[in-house]
Amino acid sequence: MDSDFVPPSVSFQLPVIDFSDQNLKPGSSKWDEVTADVLKALEDYGCFEASFDKLSVELNRSVFEAMEDLFELPIPTKQRNVSSKPFHGYLCHNLYESLGINDANVLEKVNDFTQQLWPDHGNKSLRSHTDKNIITILHQYQVDGLEVKTKDDKWIKVKPSQDSVLVMVGDSLCALLNGRLHSPYHRVIMTGKKTRYSTGLFSIPKTGVIIDSPEELVDKEHPRIFKPFEYTDFLHFFQTEAGRIAQSALHAFAAF
């Protein structure tokens, strides 16, 4: 968490890993090379920039133009997107808004979402925090502002790119792998008058699944760090005062 504002570092850059190579297939030397790069990036930084050559300018433009239309809807309309789960549904803040879709990879769920908002149509910013989920994939468009904190407390500014996304470890994956991967603090700093849009895919454990490090990741050199826990319980703890003021909600909730 931020006690004082620390400006971003200009001398550091997150790892950039290219996934566009046509030889990138399981069992190939290129596959082994890229997986090694991914592992090192997630161990050292907890995130990396994944580059693709198939993220077209036209696709980017159409997605974010649709987002502008979405967030221009009246607040009462956006508030129809409700959820009993923490950080799901419509979230509103003085400086940011979020509209989350449960099961965004399922067509029927997306249709349900659009029906809530368009029933007459057819079928500082974010403070320093870690994500609580498994994996986050972020794509920011044109306007920057996202910054990631390194293990030695330096902030790296993540520049928007048309053909890349940011892949980031969440606390739940960190706990599952017994701390082998780093879950990084990150924040959004707004420095201009232009509205900033971004999209995010948040991978979360299924309801009822217990996050517990497998025995093969626990030994004398790597003793078990976290107690087994259920993801929703962790989210509810994070919403409490104790969870919000903790330096690390994960350690406060689940560490031995």
Contact 251, 221 (CB under 8 A): no
First to last CA, the chain: 21
Query: What are 61-70's pLDDT values in tens digits?
Result: 777 777 777 7
- The percent of residues above 70 in pLDDT, for the chain, comes to 75
Task: Give the pLDDT score at 63.
Answer: 76
Contact 130, 250 (CB under 8 A): yes
d(CA 226, CA 256): 6
Q: Find, among 98, 167, 86, 92, the residue nearest to 134 by Cα.
A: 167
CA count, 13 A, side-chain hemisphere, 43? 7
Per-residue pLDDT at 115 exceeds 60: no
Task: Give the pLDDT score at 62.
Answer: 77
Judged by DSSP in three states, 134 sits in: coil
pLDDT tier at 15, thresholds 50, 70, 90: very high
Q: What residue ranges in the chain does DSSP mark as E strands? A: 8-9, 16-18, 47-51, 90-92, 97-99, 135-141, 146-149, 155-157, 164-169, 186-188, 197-203, 210-211, 229-230
Taking each continuous run of H as one helix and of E as one strand, the counts in the chain are: 8, 13
pLDDT tier at 141, thresholds 50, 70, 90: confident
Higher pLDDT pick, 115 / 203: 203
d(CA 95, CA 73): 16
Per-residue pLDDT at 254 exceeds 90: yes
Judged by DSSP in three states, 77 sits in: helix
Tokens of 115: 């029906």
pLDDT tier at 94, thresholds 50, 70, 90: very low
pLDDT tier at 123, thresholds 50, 70, 90: very low
Per-residue pLDDT at 130 exceeds 90: yes
Tokens of 210: 């217990």
Domains identified in the chain and CATH numbers: 8-213 (2.60.120.330)
Query: What are 160-201's pLDDT values in tens digits?
Result: 777 889 999 999 999 999 999 999 999 988 766 677 777 888
Model-level pTM? 0.75
The backbone region for 58, taken as left when phi is positive above 0, alpha when psi lies in -120 to 50, beta otherwise, is alpha
Question: Which of the residue ranges 19-28, 34-43, 51-60, 211-220 would you say has the lowest mean pLDDT?
Answer: 51-60
Task: Give the pLDDT score at 119.
Answer: 46
Report which DSSP code applies to 255.
Answer: B
Contact 31, 25 (CB under 8 A): yes
* Average pLDDT in the chain: 82
Q: Which one of 118-122, 138-142, 157-161, 201-205 scores highest in mean pLDDT?
A: 201-205
Per-residue pLDDT at 224 exceeds 80: yes
Q: For residue 21, report the phi and psi dihedrals to the nearest 5 degrees.
A: -60, 125
Average pLDDT over residues 81-107: 57
Task: Give the pLDDT score at 83.
Answer: 67
Task: Give the pLDDT score at 198.
Answer: 78
Task: Give the pLDDT score at 55.
Answer: 73
Residue type, 158: V
